[in-house]
Amino acid sequence: MFRVAIAFVIAMAIALLWAAASEHSFEHDLRITTLTLGLVLIGMAAVGRGSNFERAMDFGATEAFWGRVPGMSSTRRTGEDPTLSPGAVFVLSGATLLALGLFVL
C-alpha cells in the first residue's frame, strides 16, 4: 500500500500544480485534473505485465536511482512480504483519484 500512497501523492502534486497554473477556478481545474490523472493511471494498468511501466516500478530500478537503505535489500523478498503488482498499484491509485474527483471535489 506504500506504493499506492506514493503514486497518489505524486498525482495529487501534479494536479495541484496544474490547477494552480491554469486560468479557470482552482476547484474546477483540480477536479478535472484528478479525474484525468485517475483515468490515465487506470489506462496505464491496462497495459499489462512485462511493460515499461512494470519495469519502472521494479525495486531494482528504484534502488539504482534512490540508493540502498542500510540493512534492507530491495531486491530480495522474504515469504511474508506482501507485494502488489504494478497494475494493482495503478488501478488503486487511479480509483482513489477518481473517487476524490467525483465525490469530494
pLDDT tens track for 8-58: 888 888 888 888 888 888 888 888 889 998 999 898 888 776 666 666 655
CA 27 – CA 31 distance, rounded (Å):
6
Predicted confidence at residue 27, as pLDDT, reads 87
User: pTM of the predicted model, to two decimals?
Assistant: 0.65
- Residue ranges making up the domain that contains 17: 2-62+85-104
Residue 43 belongs to a domain? yes
Query: What are the grid coordinates assigned to 100, written together?
Result: 476524490
49 part of a folded domain:
yes
Specify the pLDDT at position 39.
92
For residue 71, tell me if it sits in a domain.
Answer: no
Position 28, amino acid: H
